[in-house]
Homo-oligomer: A and B are copies of this chain.
Amino acid sequence: MFIIGELINGMYKNVQEAIKNKDKKAIQEIAIAQTKAGSSALDVNCGPASANPKDTMKWLVEAIQEVVDTPLCLDSTRPDVIEAGLSIAKNKTVINSAYADQEKLDTLVPMALKYNSALIGLAMSKKGVPQDKLQRLELAVQIITYCQDNGFPVNNLYLDPIVLPVNVAQSQGQEVLETIREFKILSDPAPKTVVGLSNVSQGTNQRSLINRTFLVMAQGCGLDSAILDPLDNDLMDALIAAELILNKQIYCDSFLNAYRK
């Protein structure tokens, strides 16, 4: 499982404070903690309050790279902010994210090619969030086709089915799970799949339980990657146990520790 740690995001108060106070150490501690907990990559998002997001993105990337070699997932709605991060990233990168829109793809797919970056493609469009599996698949096909037509390798594309909160869109859980399964058969080589996990439990009283339950089901459907909180120990235990059951990690009695190492 390609685990993308979600905690370096300016929407969180501690990160927002650190950005405001240029407190490099605070960011670095989060980067180290997430890496130690098993993150394959770290999401980097300036948050909505950043006055100069391009500078903030560069500052964050530099701060993180001073202490860890973990790949970075550059997360912004603005392509120029993503490129500010890409331009100085030393290790592997993921662009987060494009969606099924001509203008968006025209900008981000060439950028991903230029920087040899992976790309997250959201199964949504300007019209908003999809309502069912078929809409998600249709949008995914548009993104895949664009990649194929423009020389971007589809196995470097992470398709995100758009996870919705269970308390407001309860019927969408099953749709998303089936979508993950079917994303994998849309092309050969298959695209990868990713979810923004925490969204499933927004506004509920049992966030960790709902997150880990949904994650395990999604893993059972072939999920390749998730943006999540790697410091949630119960979540990571569930993730690791699921990898074990799916035979992606060889059994040993101390499999929980073995995976984290």
A171 within 8 A of B: yes
A18 within 8 A of B: no
Across-interface contacts of A254 in B (CB, < 8 A) = 205
- Interchain CB contact (< 8 A) of A213 among B170, B214, B238: B238
Across-interface contacts of A214 in B (CB, < 8 A) = 245
Interface residues in A200-238 by Cβ distance below 8 A to B read 200, 204-206, 209-210, 212-214, 216-217, 219-221, 237-238
Does the CB pair B206–A241 fall under 8 Å? yes
Does the CB pair B250–A170 fall under 8 Å? yes
Q: How far is the CA of A194 from the CA of B246 in the complex (A)?
A: 19
A253 within 8 A of B: yes
- Interchain CB contact (< 8 A) of A219 among B204, B217, B238: B217
Does the CB pair B210–A177 fall under 8 Å? no
Across-interface contacts of A52 in B (CB, < 8 A) = none
A38 vs chain B, min Cβ distance (A): 16
A60 vs chain B, min Cβ distance (A): 33
Q: How far is the CA of A173 from the CA of B220 in the complex (A)?
A: 10
Question: Nearest B residue to A220 by beta-carbon distance?
Answer: B217
Check A245/B213 contact, CB under 8 A, given A177-B220, A251-B166: yes
Check A242/B213 contact, CB under 8 A, given A173-B247, A256-B206: yes
- Interchain CB contact (< 8 A) of A210 among B170, B245, B246: B245
A91 within 8 A of B: no
A220 vs chain B, min Cβ distance (A): 4
Q: List 29 A-B contacts (CB under 8 A).
A: A166-B245, A167-B251, A167-B253, A170-B244, A170-B250, A170-B251, A173-B245, A173-B246, A174-B246, A204-B251, A204-B253, A205-B254, A206-B255, A209-B237, A209-B241, A210-B241, A210-B244, A212-B238, A213-B216, A213-B242, A213-B245, A214-B245, A216-B217, A216-B220, A217-B217, A217-B219, A217-B242, A217-B245, A220-B220
